[in-house]
Amino acid sequence: MMFQYVKLLLYSIFLSCKVYAIPLEDSGDALNLFGLEGLSENYAIGATFIEGDIAVPLKAGRAVYIRSPKWPNGIVPFDIHASYTNDQKSVIRGAMSEIMKSTNNCIRFVERNSSTSVWLRIIPSRGCWSYMGRAKSSGPQDLSLQPTGCVYHQVALHELMHALGFIHEQTRPDRNQYVRIQTENIQSGNEHNFNIFPSTSVSTLNRPYDYGSIMHYRSDAFSSNGLPTIKVITDTDKDWESKMGRGMNLSDQDAEKLKAYYSCS
């Protein structure tokens, strides 16, 4: 069953954690994360979605209030649904390993045990999506990687970055200095996916804008006509237009942002 598409009105957004991500449109079979209109509202999980793949509790209503606290001490307990194949589990664990290695194990994913109060539960639900940061006070916090289309290394990285508290790169408050949004090319009803967050709500962690982030939209994200929806402004950076949103791994800046946010030494 297709979930009803609902255009989300964002008129009050507050973020306690900050940085960014990319809806990925991978080659091959990977789902276009920013094209999943059917994920806009999902009563089955009690959440609505913004920017395609960020889950927000329905109880927040239309005045969306996003809290994204850190995982204490950078430790993220998790379990992976038993229905994934061994190869799929290896892909998911590989993404976790890259994050741990890039932060020198300052951020650690550990198997949950019976005493774990909050954990990341990776499930084979519809689509690729995650909550922002440590969003639950008790019990499992879901992260969905649909077996067909989402279990790819770069997609798992992207959603794990959301779970660690990072939002999409092109929503940072200084983005208009680096990219221009071509609103005339955006699919009707998807304009909100290009909202920009104010500096009072979002921190850049004093890191430069990162066209190569695992957390950046493709240049043709939500395009209605195949033309770019995001154009690079600076001539010296124009080559990034064909590369944005196509990364397979964390960028160097992604790693630095993780370490900065989680106060890694």
Query: CATH number of the domain that 186 lies in?
Result: 3.40.390.10
158 known member of a binding site: yes
Instruction: Say if 94 falls within a structural domain.
Output: yes
Other C-beta atoms lying within 10 Å of the C-beta of residue 235: 7
Instruction: Say if 137 falls within a structural domain.
Output: yes
Instruction: Say if 8 falls within a structural domain.
Output: no
Instruction: Say if 14 falls within a structural domain.
Output: no
Instruction: Say if 10 falls within a structural domain.
Output: no
168 known member of a binding site: yes
Give the domain range for residue 238: 19-36+70-265
Distance, CA of 37 to CA of 87 (rounded, Å): 29
pTM for the full predicted model: 0.79
162 known member of a binding site: yes
Give strand ranges (E) for the chain: 41-42, 47-50, 54-57, 75-80, 108-111, 118-123, 128-131, 139-145, 179-181, 230-232
When divided into structural domains, the chain yields a total of 1
Q: Which of 181, 147, 257 lies closest to 212, judged by CA?
A: 257
Residues with catalytic annotation?
A: 159
Instruction: Say if 157 falls within a structural domain.
Output: yes
Identity of the amino acid at 5: Y
Strands 75-80 vs 54-57: parallel, antiparallel or unpaired: unpaired
Instruction: Say if 50 falls within a structural domain.
Output: no
Instruction: Say if 61 falls within a structural domain.
Output: no
- For every one of its 265 residues, what pLDDT tens digit does the chain have, with 9 covering 90 and above? 333 322 232 323 323 332 333 333 332 333 343 333 333 333 333 445 555 566 555 343 333 334 468 999 999 999 999 999 999 999 999 999 999 999 999 999 999 999 999 999 999 998 889 988 998 899 999 999 999 989 999 999 999 999 998 878 998 899 999 999 999 999 998 888 898 877 777 788 899 999 999 999 999 999 999 999 999 999 999 999 999 999 999 999 999 999 999 999 7
Distance, CA of 122 to CA of 77 (rounded, Å): 11
